[in-house]
Structure 1
Amino acid sequence: MTRHDTLHPTEVVDARTAPAAPSDDATGVDPAYTEHLAHNYHPLPVVVSHGEGAWVTDVDGRRYLDCLAAYSAVNFGHGHPVLVAAAREQLDRITLTSRAFHNDRLGPFAAELAALAGKDMVLPMNTGAEAVESGIKVARAWGYRVKGVAPERAEIVVMDGNFHGRTTTIISFSNDPEARADFGPYTPGFVSVPYGDADAMAAAITPDTVAVLVEPIQGEAGIVVPPADFLPRVRSITRDANVLLIADEIQSGLGRTGATFQCDNVGVVPDLYLLGKALGGGIVPVSAVVGDADVLGVLRPGEHGSTFGGNPLAAAVGLAVVRMLATGEPQARARELGAVLRVGLESLVGRGVLRTRGAGLWVGVDIDPSLATGRRVCELLAGRGVLVKDTHGSTIRFAPPIVATEHDLRFAVDQLAAVLDELRA
């Protein structure tokens, strides 16, 4: 295991030695769309101007099947009429009050989200990284105020290969050199163990451990699915050790994997859910920490907050999302369509695909690295009207909106097959 409070970036990889990314000018994108942007992303050469359902249109009128769905933030498609209607109605009423006052949208949103998760309380925030930061603060406060850990000694066990955001605290326990190098000094208090190894996780727990933070499926690592018994064992071990289990369902939750939460698929109920992305319906940033009062109740007025967290517009859209999920229809559709997508992608194993893995409408595809990098495959797919994103090396991921059709998914698979045939030729 790795203690990240003693890890120096040069002990991982020094990202400064990596070759520079090509400029957007080299891709043919009009500099008007790029020249004043910081270079913290390396986007594909597509400039999107419109979207509807599972499809987007660029500034030149070309249409693309969106198989990334904004990293699962657009689970319900672009411009979903129910969600757009909720936003428009709220825009005519009030959009921001701050938490200095109550607003009439936040209470119902919190109540129905808590019910959806089977919990008592909701801490509303804006972005996924804020939800993670909030979960860390809650876990530490719980450790000191409830468990009785000595001051300044709280530790949280995390997983190798994790991705929970890019704030300075979160990158302190990342082992991704691109996210970490040159951004220290790093925040102490985290211990990292191999993902999927419940024995290593158990061995890392000490009397100072307050929580285990885990993605039920690791998204940015390449849609990595742990052994089937991993999360159930983690739940049992943390419960016996009086340690919180925090599930980061920011990408995996809210219908993406064919269930409300990926934890549901393995029969696990964590102490805290971290939610984001799809909670805002692709319209506004909405995130939340959801848990029971014996954990979230440790927060006191003034200890944590956000000017925009829980704003009426976000709460109105979030409430519409929760009510859609409460029907169970998006989850069922993701299961059914996921089976179609998985069968199609599995048919390409041996034809340039090494393996696939995932759950619901979330699939990682390992391309034979002798053919191309993941980035190159994504570029070629974009040329054929399909938008996906690479993760590491030669891995690409498919996460189309749940409103996609079987025809859409077969189109995506056919285009990948054509790209692979082109590369093999």
Structure 2
Amino acid sequence: MYEKILKHFKAAYPGFPAKPSINLGLGIKQIRLRMGMTQDELAGQAKMKPTALKTLENGYAQFTKASNLERLASALHTKICDIVNEAREWFASNFFVLKLEDPEQPSPRQRKWRAEKWFKAKWHSFDGFDACLLTSPAEGPAHFHFAAIDIHPGHALKHLHRKSHTLTQIAGFVERGSLKIIYTGKEASTLSGNQGFILRGDKTHQFINEDHDNKLRIYLAFLFPLQKSIKKKPRKNLSRESFSVGRAIESLRLLYSDSPARPLSFSRLAELTGLDAKSLKYLSKTNHPGQVVYWDKIEVITHALHIPISRFIELAEGKDDGYIKIATAHDRALIDYRHYLGVRIKSILFPSSSNQFHFSELYIEPRGGIRRASWRRTDNAMMLAYVEDGELLVEVGKNRKTLLSAGESVYFDGSLGYIFTNSGAKPTKILFVTHPAIIF
């Protein structure tokens, strides 16, 4: 299902840039215009040829010398980082807006003016469900995908799984209806409206609409399908029931790796646990029942990685059945910033430091907003704001802004800085998703 959704929506936006590109000249031009400088004045102060600056600003030259960039930053009285970030604001995936109405037709070019650009939200029908992708169709490990899915009455989405490495998570929220999840063919859970869940997506799962009269609306967040995954080397003479410390160590190296293409290095694992790399390599080769098991070292590893010894033993026995965590009303934390920021944050997922997503409902008071001070993520987090009720003015960076109504969304790079403002007369409710997760 996941790959099918991505394939359809990628085809729905032909010409959308698949890879990031930075128009550095556009960032320079925006800063220059705000300062009221002409091209000739900036070129003179930066000791550049006017034709070279014009070519750069018009986007015909995508690269420039570091020395030129330093002189331009000095002449503009700004930092190189500010120029680059201002240029990044205009990359399509760093500010992707979906609205219910058709986008405006391009108007004749006007000096010092750029039209707001958005796309029309599109629903696609599949076998047993309808879906609308609310994030950009861009590819890359930095991006995540967020989809609204309506499962038809009585229908089941079967044999679902993500073709990726073991840390791939799927986060979900039931807006309305009754959802039954069957995980790994063994564990069944039933969720009603306003309940969330998170599960490991590489294990087979099913989503079933138990209501035979009405559609079920759920929202799903999942990561970009990685093209290259870790290839596990087969271990000889190891059945699922046999106890192998080496198998557990290798599983931990996969689980704690930041890269889908390779496991965590022994040197890095040594830094995390305080053990030397040689001892860890020996433990990873402890596969034969006749070999000595150093339980004191295993105790050190489990304490350092904050996992219970029972979980380590399960990995050693080959019991890796994934996980699913349900967040009921009692599990959803509420953070009330109304008196200071005019906002309440109600988490959707079960609290865990291992969550790959932050997923919450935000309630923003009228004319309040998250102050006028721009919030900024320091970890290049991608973010999505989907308006469920009310109006929301979203400002990203120094140039991008959009006014959203119910059913509209914006996907953007949180490291550019952002401001949320309720421009209406009643409280605004939005679904707010980020990757990586926000840790409160």
Q: If each structure's helix is expressed as a fraction of its own residues, which one has the higher value?
A: 1
TM-based fold match above 0.5: no
- Bigger Cα Rg: 2
Classify the TM-score, shorter chain.
Answer: under 0.3
Q: If each structure's strand is expressed as a fraction of its own residues, which one has the higher value?
A: 2
